[in-house]
């Protein structure tokens, strides 16, 4: 029964090809974004849930480390 329904849709043979192209385009775009993204921006976004108010620098200088302790 499903075979008859699907064969009656015009252009159905192109749907799997379009779906595959969209699938690969999405993941290739994701890989390109990952390679080009600013790592500092990702680090800031990753630390956001743990911050209480003031943002903490990514690499504190030795003088800042001694001031905290």
| Separation of alpha carbons 35 and 37, rounded Å | 6
Of the candidates 14, 34, 16, the one whose C-alpha atom is nearest the C-alpha of residue 26 is 34
Q: Which residue has the higher pLDDT, 54 or 68?
A: 54
Residue 68: which residues within 8 A CB-CB, separation 6 or more?
60
Residue 30 has pLDDT above 90, yes or no: yes
Instruction: Find where tokens 């200088």 sit.
Output: 61
pLDDT of residue 58: 65
Q: How confident is the model at residue 26 (pLDDT cuts 50, 70, 90)?
A: very high
Domain spans of the chain? 2-51
Residue 53 has pLDDT above 80, yes or no: no
- For CA atoms 40, 45, 46, 50, give the dihedral sign: positive
């Amino acid at each position: 029964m499903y075979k008859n329904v699907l064969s009656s849709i015009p252009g159905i043979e192109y749907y799997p090809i379009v779906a595959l192209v969209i699938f690969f385009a999405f993941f290739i775009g994701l890989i390109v974004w990952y390679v080009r993204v600013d790592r500092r921006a990702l680090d800031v976004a990753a630390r956001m849930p743990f911050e209480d108010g003031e943002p903490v620098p990514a690499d504190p200088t030795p003088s800042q480390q001694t001031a905290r302790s």
